[in-house]
Amino acid sequence: MYSVFVTRRIPDDGLELLRKHSRVHVNPCDRSLTKEEIIEGVRDKDGLLCLLNDTIDREVIESAPKLRVIANYAVGYNNIDVKTASEKGVMVTNTPDVLTDTTAEMAWALLFAVARRVVESDRYTRDGRFTGWDPMLMLGVDVTGKTLGVIGAGRIGTAFALKSRGFNMKVLYTDQHVNAVLEKELHAEKAELQDLLEDADFVSIHVPLLDDTYHLIGENELRRMKKNAILINTSRGAVVDEKALIKALKEKWITGAGLDVYEHEPHVPDELKKLDNVVLTPHIASATFETRRKMAVIAAENLIAGLNGTRPPNCVNPEVYTKKVK
């Protein structure tokens, strides 16, 4: 039987599936593991099921000579040194599709929360400051009929844009590829990033964190946005230059932001926490009971397939097949 290491407890559906096919060692602590603990856990294992906040770098991969599959419990896999994994013949897998609508819904939740000042209003009401209807109280901005800018029109960006149908919006998107679905369904227009930033009232980011998307949105980009614009980020924190964003929010170059992800998670800068024009959530865009269960099953299926010598459904480094797979 194969032996696998799971870096943090995931929903039972996934663990039960894994247990039918392998000896499963789950991190017994209710916390993320340090790199040293991950190395200790994976040292003699054939498979690793890890989270997006586990750094699986060369040192970790080289510490596990038997390792054949790394199954990430996420669609993004910027936490894994895929190049080294491929070099070593180790398959890397992710969990796409099942979290697409869930993540897109969260982007909308943040968009509305910022546009209509939902969190600020909640605090205001709880604090007992609501003393009667006021014509000027908590004015926000309308969503219907405005221009939506989608940066990265892949699975989640597309689902996010399609959900704008009820709000009769003009949709702009950036991507390396033409998105035929968005162009047909919404008459969306593919734009240059700078043009999208200048035109959109709401900008939502859905690109993966790659070398060329690191700080894709920095001071120059924020300065190009409309004064009444709102920025939503549910992708990865480092796609946005957080220091520049704080400056933009403080100095009101833009109206507000909704953030689920941060540049140095779990650290959230105090300066950001002090601002009223930003809504902050703790990286929960895929966090629904249904989706987390599906992610657990898919991650387990990927791991089992790889260990059994078949191609995992969601292998992100197919180049591994041109190498000698262990």
Ligand X SMILES: NC(=O)c1ccc[n+]([C@@H]2O[C@H](COP(=O)([O-])OP(=O)(O)OC[C@H]3O[C@@H](n4cnc5c(N)ncnc54)[C@H](O)[C@@H]3O)[C@@H](O)[C@H]2O)c1
The contact set with ligand X (CB under 6 A) reads 75-76, 96, 99, 103, 151-157, 174-177, 206-209, 212-213, 234-236, 260-261, 283, 285-286
In angstroms, the Cα distances linking 128 to 119, 131, 140, 212 are 15, 8, 21, 47
Task: Tell me which of 21, 224, 283, 292 is the catalytic residue.
Answer: 283
Catalytic residue status for 265 = yes
Q: Pick the closer one to ligand X by CB: 64 or 257.
A: 257
Paired residues of 49 in beta bridges: 6, 71
Q: Pick the closer one to ligand X by CB: 4 or 231.
A: 231
The nearest distance, CB 326 to ligand X, in angstroms, is 27
Q: Pick the closer one to ligand X by CB: 251 or 290.
A: 290
The nearest distance, CB 79 to ligand X, in angstroms, is 10
CB–CB of 202/232 below 8 Å? Answer: yes
CB–CB of 95/298 below 8 Å? Answer: yes
Rounded Cα distance between 180 and 164, Å, is 16
The C-alpha angle 96, 101, 104, rounded to 5 degrees, equals 105
Closest of 35, 155, 39, 46 to residue 95, by C-alpha = 155
SS3 89: coil
The nearest distance, CB 3 to ligand X, in angstroms, is 29
Rounded Cα distance between 249 and 255, Å, is 7
Q: Which residue is nearest to ligand X (CB)?
A: 154
Task: Tell me which of 236, 242, 263, 292 is the catalytic residue.
Answer: 236
Q: Pick the closer one to ligand X by CB: 4 or 50.
A: 50
Rounded Cα distance between 176 and 129, Å, is 49
Which helix (H) or strand (E) is 308 found in, with range?
none
Catalytic residue status for 236 = yes
Rounded Cα distance between 125 and 43, Å, is 53
The nearest distance, CB 229 to ligand X, in angstroms, is 18
- Residues sharing a CB contact under 8 Å with residue 85, sequence separation 6 or more, in sequence order: 56, 61, 70, 91, 92, 317, 320
End-to-end CA distance of the chain: 16
The nearest distance, CB 196 to ligand X, in angstroms, is 10
Task: Tell me which of 59, 183, 185, 265 is the catalytic residue.
Answer: 265
The nearest distance, CB 159 to ligand X, in angstroms, is 8
Q: Pick the closer one to ligand X by CB: 18 or 153.
A: 153
SS3 23: strand
Q: Pick the closer one to ligand X by CB: 224 or 236.
A: 236
Catalytic residue status for 283 = yes
Residues noted as catalytic? 236, 265, 283
